Structure 1
């Protein structure tokens, strides 16, 4: 479908009717604390719901307990194998491109500062990484898996932020539309799917068209389970490109929140990487993947490593040659990728399962000033996020 300023503006006026109604009922009845307490014990598919869970919550969980009926399971298996083959590269793209790209949208950066939990990048990165790993497991939609409960809780988390900002009159709906609106949810879906594929390409990772399409398809399934209107979601990579380019031109720009969140993110990555010798590669890789304009807006440091990091695609190309020419090498690299991903998640989560909860209040200092919706936006021709 064609995307225009008018169609994108229409998406800014819509949220998630089911999740929004559930959250509103929980708050109206004073059941939010009870829900959060009880849902900490529901983290796998098939677990019995605890006694005392509010009825409106039971109805929501029943309505969202299964993936969409239209899911092509062969395509999902192709997506899983794509992830297995590229898990380290996908994790790199999520960490150094997708997350900073979120911070390049000023109103999204404000939203990510709206709760105490999301203010700390380790929490958000751990939750995102864990969510992706849950999705790409063979049993993601079977009894005992953690993916569906995580998706149900994330959807309510988004609805609760919409609820707080709207009820407390801390969001300029006339200028910005609905908080975490359909346009922003689709934009986020693009950051975690198409932008990841773009980043893999920039890193020199060779992908088949079928693998790339399958990975994108898996995130369409995720979007549907997070309340994204599938009638508005790009169905193909070509349509996704048109949406993402227009979304970026409409909204991306500098903001103090984006700068602060990026600084926290860089500090986090430098803390996870042992020692200090390789610390400069963190900002260099972000700058390489998001481009100089976006990196300047986020005040990502620039230095001598900016040139050195450009050899990364060549190094990855050597590893791919080993993988292609040797079954033993392919097995070893897959195991290394798995262990690296596990290590990264363990460092971020401290070995704990991440829990999602409905925030009962937002940060008191959070606010959105009344004013033009697109002050300081970037309006270059053509595609963006390239140096």
Structure 2
């Protein structure tokens, strides 16, 4: 039964809505001739970690000042508790991000068209893995949502980049009206829900038991991020239970097989195997995707069948971890998944982000808690 707050009619209307403040800031930039192209604007945003108001063009000063304000309903204690959950979950959070949240995004057949239109599959997939992981670490790291915290700045910049992408796509003439507006409110909300609802569900499947308060705190932190990123508050439910209803309503509407989503998923799997050195974990990414998103969604994405013996049992045996005979229900072992996530995160730390981009940043507190080696330690 559809929740009357999120009927098809309402969600259809949200596909025609974008983000007026960010779109107006970008429009003003171009109108005043202060930026040559949307691509140039995005290069400037990713090349600078910090944003100094005095150095910004006038149209952006007001945007950054206003968008940095947290909502009146933001609960600092819940935010801290949600960030503490992230710290305790360790690299399982990164596994949930890469093997559940991103594939779920690719299952949205209309929203994925934006990624496909703007992506060079190999280079952009690697960049998306690294920069999405960076944003998650920045948002959920201690202090990330404090004034001038890394998470607030990341969310502001991503929001502005979305506006630049909308400008670029509208100019391209390649966008189909039946997709709704590019990066519209329904797609923005659906993406945000992958970082909260989908991630929470994935953590449980990976063996991390979340208390009700912990799950609500984790969701609340991302609800605040959604506000900063310009998601309509009607698409930011107050509690996790309602957020799950909204997520399921949106996913039911937008999930559909399409060549673009399948290509993005294939590139994701290939890049994960490329980022992690050696071949011990080959096959594990696709196996975890199937486990975390379910076979129905995995089929939409054309994820190859999971070779459980090669992808899970063999690594467990090689690492000297003993499994109970016949315990196939527990094949997705939390310990193995955590090690996979740690190796993936170490690979992300190592990956070059290009000359214009700063190196991957992970707080020392998280690095030590997660036992992730730095670039220097890997040399």
Sort the TM-score into its range (normalised by shorter chain): 0.7 to 0.9
Counterpart of 1:326? none
Q: Does 1:70 align with 2:88?
A: no
Q: What TM-score results when the alignment is normalised by the length of structure 1?
A: 0.78
Contact kept, 8 Å, 2:82 with 2:214, in 1: the verdict is: yes
Give the match for residue 194 of structure 2: 191
Q: Structure 1 residue 260 and structure 2 residue 263: aligned?
A: yes
Give the structure 2 partner of residue 385 of structure 1: none
Q: How does 1:38-57 map to 2 (within 5 A)?
A: 39=45, 42-44=48-50, 48-51=52-55, 53-57=56-60
| Residues in 1 aligned to 2:46 and 2:298: alpha-carbon distance in whole angstroms | 38
Equivalent position of 1:59 in the other structure: 62
- In structure 2, the partner of 1:315 is 333
Could you say which residue in structure 2 is the equivalent of 1:147?
Answer: 151
Matches within 5 A, 1:1-387: 2-33=5-36, 39=45, 42-44=48-50, 48-51=52-55, 53-116=56-119, 120-142=124-146, 145-173=149-177, 175-305=178-308, 309=312, 315-316=333-334, 343-349=346-352, 353=358
Q: Give the Å deviation of 1:31.
A: 1.8
For 1:379, the equivalent position in structure 2 comes to none
**Superimposed CA distance per residue, residues 280-312 of structure 1 (whole angstroms, 9 cap, x where no aligned partner):** 222111111122222222221114327975666
Aligned CA-pair RMSD: 2.9
- What TM-score comes out, normalization by structure 2 length? 0.79
Distance in 2, matches of 1:38 and 1:273, equals 29
Contact 2:42/2:164 (8 A) holds in 1: no
Residues 127/37 of structure 1: CA separation in 2 closer, same or farther (3 Å cut):
closer
Separation in 2 of the partners of 1:127 and 1:340? 17
1:301 to 1:41, Cα distance in 2 relative to 1, 3 A: closer
Deviations 1:104-143 (A, max 9, x none): 1112221112324786211111111111111122222446
Task: Give the gaps of 5 or more residues in structure 1.
Answer: 321-332, 356-387
**Contact 1:95 1:125 survives alignment (8 Å):** yes
Query: CA–CA distance in 2 between the matches of 1:289 and 1:70?
Result: 31
Query: Structure 2: which 5+ runs fail to align?
Result: 313-327, 361-379
Deviation at 1:215, TM superposition (A): 0.5
Task: Name the CA distance, whole Å, in 1 between partners of 2:358 and 2:170.
Answer: 31
Q: CA deviation at 1:11?
A: 1.2
1:255 Cα deviation from its structure 2 partner? 1.0
Comparing 205-214 and 115-124, the one that deviates more? 115-124
Partner of 1:383: none
Structure 1 residues 307 and 290, CA gap change in structure 2 (3 angstroms): farther
After alignment, is 71-80 or 274-283 more displaced? 274-283
1:287–1:22 CA distance, 2 compared to 1 (3 A): same
- Counterpart-to-counterpart distance in 1, 2:165 and 2:41: 16
Alignment CA distance shift 1:299-1:58 (3 Å): same
Once residues 145 and 15 of structure 2 are traced to their aligned partners in structure 1, the CA distance between those partners, rounded to angstroms, is 31
Return the alpha-carbon distance in structure 2 between the equivalents of residues 249 and 103 of structure 1. 14
Q: Is the 8 A contact 1:106 1:253 kept in 2?
A: yes
**Secondary structure at 1:278 match in 2:** coil
Contact 1:97 1:196 in 2 (8 A): yes
1:340–1:277 distance in 2 versus 1, CA, 3 Å? closer
> C-alpha distance in 1, partners of 2:336/2:218?
22
